[in-house]
Amino acid sequence: MRVAFGKIKITPPGGVIGKPLAGYSPVPRCTGILDDIYAHGILIESCTLGNIRKMTLLISLDFLKIPLLVSSYIKNKVHEAHFDIKPAQVLIHATHTHKSMDMGGEFVYPGGFLSVLKSIMFGAYHSDDKYKVWIARRMVKLVDNLKRALEPAKIGWGKELIEAPIMLNRRHPTRYSKSRLGVISFKKQQGDKLIGVIVNYAMHPTTLSAGITKLSADYPGRIVHKIEQLIGRKGCAAFFTGACGDLNPITTCGTDFELLEKERQRVYGQKGNYSNTKQLGYFLGEQAYRIASEIPTDSYLDEVDIKVFSEVFSVPMLDYKEHRPVVEWIKKRAIHLVKRLFLLRVALLLAEGEEPNFPGFAIKHDGRNIRLYSMVQYIHVSATNGESHPEFSIAGIPGELFEDIARDITREAPTGVGNTFVFENANDWIGYLFPIHEYLHAGGYEPMPSFSPLGGKLVREAMLRLMAYIRNGITTFS
């Protein structure tokens, strides 16, 4: 096995002043830079069926999200330049920082709620397509660099529950939710020197409050920076956000969870600043480095078999109509009907005249039947180590996954909870992915920006179905 880590700056080359920042409403204009944004890449050359070498590419981008047609465009451009890297063997992830550039068109027009509605209808026609094309070219250059840097390696992995009170479930503070910090570590094949570390943790990258108007990768960028300092080399780490659809950082709301259960606005209205970003990022970076360093030497493997599976699924533009409290039912029906009968209709009518280059959603429609198409991805990594057969997997999810569904997925995964890493916002973003019971009974703003309240249910079903096919050996892989 050979591996290479690297990074490339993706801060807009023409400057950021005045550009809309994606993540919050009202949509602010950027006034400066706290830290640059990057694409981090990991290229793994592995062996399958005894002697067939193949490439697996993981890319993490410091963006709020990445639409399916943008990620597909990047994959195709990489494949055109590097024929041995197939699009099916690439995972492209957005870390979900709320202080970066808009890639989906929903944050084109600065301003409040009406500006967001305008962006949903017209944003795909006025977003910065030149920047997206430039990003694709940068990814080709990143892969050029990675291929030149490939070196013999061995791989180890581990997870550890973070007990420190640094995050909470914003909808259910008294759940006392905690996330596992996951690490996939690569060392030189000879010796114990670290080549690079993949870090996975479930917590929204929102340490910076809505009032801060400067570009930043948020805490994921500080995790990477800290690991680079500890290893002593730039470009040796990458962060992939876990299932944090309902998990927020604790910056200024405190840890009185009983109070926060009653006064949720204390959570939503936190006033975190860059000091909080660095504090949380550096803490997690140090913990990730420690976990990587403590993986036993005999747990590292110098050859693995990597199989990449995927499944395309669709989500209908439908509401869930079971009984719920009347006031909440009226509110949710109104939101759904505005999106279905007005916002999407206008966008689809415009698309019939001139299709945008990079629409935020991959939608097909036939009269009243409107469907979004997306994909889930499952990467299975296995090896033989003496009499044992160690394995782990990565579940790529196209949106902001709630912790309940993530728990179901990891429990059902062929590799089990301890050896399954969830990467949300992988290859696409279709909205918040919540269980139906959260939609019916818990309220919240999450259904508004999401394509359909059925998204979470159907993503869960698609991933569980794919894993069942894998377990039973009735699906193909790349």
pLDDT in the model for residue 340: 57
Task: For residue 156, list its beta bridge partners.
Answer: 185
Q: Is the pLDDT of residue 343 over 60?
A: no
CA-based end-to-end distance of the chain: 17
pLDDT in the model for residue 322: 64
Tens digit of each residue's pLDDT (9 = 90 or more) over 355-390: 666 677 788 877 678 899 999 999 999 986 666 789
- The single residue listed with the structure tokens 């962060």 is 239
Say if pTM beats, i.e. exceeds, 0.85.
Answer: yes
- Is the torsion defined by CA of 233, 395, 374, 471 positive or negative? positive
Closest of 436, 312, 289, 323 to residue 374, by C-alpha: 312
* Mean pLDDT score, 53-74: 96
pLDDT in the model for residue 128: 82
Residue 224 vs residues 2, 43, 126, 187, 239: alpha-carbon distances, Å: 22, 17, 33, 17, 7
Q: How confident is the model at residue 150 (pLDDT cuts 50, 70, 90)?
A: very high
Q: How confident is the model at residue 346 (pLDDT cuts 50, 70, 90)?
A: low
Q: Is the pLDDT of residue 338 over 80?
A: no
- 78 contacts 143 by C-beta, under 8 angstroms: yes
Closest of 376, 386, 381, 466 to residue 420, by C-alpha: 381
Q: How far apart are CA 206 and CA 219, in angstroms?
A: 8
CB atoms within 10 A of CB 366: 7
Q: Of the ranges 143-152, 175-184, 320-329, which one carries the lowest mean pLDDT score?
A: 320-329
Q: How far apart are CA 106 and CA 216, in angstroms?
A: 19
Element (H, E) at 265: helix 265-268
The amino acid at residue 127 is S
pLDDT in the model for residue 115: 66
Helices (H), 150-253: 218-231
- Is the torsion defined by CA of 397, 402, 403, 407 positive or negative? negative
- 89 contacts 150 by C-beta, under 8 angstroms: no
pLDDT in the model for residue 47: 76
pLDDT in the model for residue 324: 60
Instruction: Give the 3-state secondary structure of residue 416.
Output: coil
CA 280 to chain centre: 19
Tens digit of each residue's pLDDT (9 = 90 or more) over 157-186: 999 999 999 999 999 999 999 999 999 999
- Share the mean pLDDT of the chain: 90
Q: How far apart are CA 370 and CA 343, in angstroms?
A: 12
Please give the share of the chain, as a percent, with pLDDT higher than 70: 87
Q: Is the pLDDT of residue 284 over 80?
A: yes
